[in-house]
Amino acid sequence: MKMDKKTLNINPVNAFSSEAGTTNACKQCAPLGACAAFKGIEGTVPMLHGSQGCATYIRRYLISHFREPIDIASSNFSEETTIFGGNRNFNTGIDNIISQYHPKVIAIASTCLSETIGEDVQRLINEYREIHAGNKQLPEMIFASTPSYSGTHYEGFHEAVFATVKALAKGSEKTGEHINLFGNFISPEDIRHLKEIVADFGIDATLFPDYSDTLDGASWETYQRISEGGTSLEALQRCGSALLSIELGHILNSGNNRTIKRNTSTQSAGEYLQNKFNVVCKRMGLPLGIRETDKLFALLSEITHRPAPEKYRRQRGRLVDLYIDGHKYVSGKKAVIYGEEDLVVALATFASETGLKPVLCATGGESGRLRNTLKETLGEMYNDEIIVGQGMSFDQMESCIFQANLQPDLLLGNSKGYYIARKLDIPLVRTGFPIHDRIGAQHNRTLCYEGATILFETIVNTLLDYKQNKSPVGYKYM
């Protein structure tokens, strides 16, 4: 029996399963995202206040995606620590990090275990500072509350961005000489491209987080305990005196509508600076495709009172021409799109403007805002037939595809959807996080005109390759 699609729109969670737990979730844990964001601060060592297993899992996941060595410290909870608290382990962990790494910043994220026992990590930081008050060389210490039962890796990422800005930003007289650009959970290559764009506009911008080098560095002659690169402390401190902040993403860490949060914030970094230091916050979607990239370039032109540099106008023109060239190959093709909420919105917008037809937009996030954000962003391109699923697992996605008889032509998302693509015998175009079964994820460019060019060519060529390989007749002309 064909499923009523409106049922899923109203209550996507557990729509295909009576199980209380989630199998093969379409998300990762919140402190994982926090560690990725913390790697965007210069001279930083991330630390998890919790069990050793959390740090091991997160290191494995990040290393497999970025293909870079990543050290993540842990306070190493034991059974005794879980009962009596982790104060001693916390202090020992900080001592060891300072003696071994000599960092500028120790960025601490909580785990489910430390949050469940009610550990007050900020109090532990304050007490450590008091004990070592005579040491003028203590590193900065930042804390982000990131229990996974209050969000996904995506929300943990933006919680860390917020916590960093809150801890370091200082207010002073606004000179109008610089802006803040808060990116998203994007590739190092996309970060480099964003830095190139603002530089070409002649803008002095603090881009955060910047892990374009720390998670994608050059080959070393000798091992570096802390990778070079990252947003400097000085740049983060001046965030409170910026002309304005630009945030890329509509949903960010806006919250989990199914779980009561304890310490985590639903305030973004840009919102905090606006409320605290009167730094105007401009929020827009990820600039993926022509429509959303046009919005970013229009804002940068408004800020600088100058048109976009010629090279970007030509990049846009070539992308339009490419859309025309490839339209006949993608028009009407049905796509299942999944991943982090803002990425799903960006991919759905991009797909719709190219002629692809999103039939399922799925995420493990539970903000409750995905459907309305899709409607607002897609505008006239939005179709009520699109199934929107939040809090979904890959098992639920698979059930939805079969029960709603979606018959997609391709999947667009991270590598964890491979088993669905394999079962359906359709291609998977890998984008987002994590990508563990291919190399080069750190070099994937998807943002702005050039990124959309690369992604569109990949999609078209993937569909052509699939059609060619499935044809009973060999041919070389498409």
- Summarised one tens digit per residue, pLDDT across range 49-75 is 988 889 999 999 999 999 999 999 998
Mean pLDDT to the nearest integer, 319-326: 98
| Lowest-pLDDT choice from 115-119, 152-156, 453-457 | 115-119
Looking at residue 185, the DSSP 8-state letter turns out to be S
Q: What is the pLDDT of residues 79-88, one digit of tens each?
A: 776 665 678 8
Q: Are 47 and 109 in contact (CB under 8 A)?
A: yes
Q: Which domains does the chain have, with CATH numbers?
A: 5-24+324-470 (3.40.50.1980), 30-284 (3.40.50.1980)
- Using the predicted structure, report yes or no on whether residue 241 has a pLDDT greater than 50: yes
| Lowest-pLDDT choice from 61-65, 87-91, 119-123, 273-277 | 87-91
Between residues 253 and 60, the one the model is more confident about: 60
Residue 11 has a pLDDT of: 41
Query: pTM for this structure?
Result: 0.93
Q: HSE on the CB side for 101, CA within 13 Å?
A: 25
Q: What is the pLDDT of residues 295-314, one digit of tens each?
A: 999 999 999 999 999 999 99
Q: Mean pLDDT, the chain, as a whole number?
A: 91
**pLDDT bracket for residue 277 (50, 70, 90):** very high
Alpha-carbon 154 to chain mean position: 5
- Using the predicted structure, report yes or no on whether residue 214 has a pLDDT greater than 80: yes
178-182: strand order across its sheet: 204-208, 178-182, 244-248, 280-284
- Using the predicted structure, report yes or no on whether residue 257 has a pLDDT greater than 60: no
Q: HSE on the CB side for 435, CA within 13 Å?
A: 19
What tokens does 246 get? Answer: 């630009």
Mean pLDDT to the nearest integer, 40-47: 97
Alpha-carbon 335 to chain mean position: 21
Residues 6 or more apart in contact with residue 85 via CB below 8 angstroms: 117, 119
Q: What is the pLDDT of residues 98-114, one digit of tens each?
A: 999 999 999 999 998 88
Looking at residue 434, the DSSP 8-state letter turns out to be -
**DSSP helix/strand/coil, 282:** strand
Indicate if the alpha-carbon torsion angle 96, 103, 67, 339 is positive or negative: positive
- Using the predicted structure, report yes or no on whether residue 205 has a pLDDT greater than 70: yes
Mean pLDDT to the nearest integer, 10-39: 72
Determine the angle formed by the axes of helices 30-38 and 153-168, rounding to 10 degrees: 40
Exposure class string for 203-241: b at 16+ Cβ within 10 A, else e: bebbbbbbbbbbbbbeeeeeeeebbebbbbbebbbbbbb
Q: What is the pLDDT of residues 173-185, one digit of tens each?
A: 776 689 999 999 9
Mean pLDDT to the nearest integer, 307-326: 97
Residue 175 has a pLDDT of: 66
Q: What is the pLDDT of residues 415-437, one digit of tens each?
A: 999 999 999 999 999 999 999 99
Distance CA 182, CA 188 (A): 14
Which residue has tokens 């409607």? 375
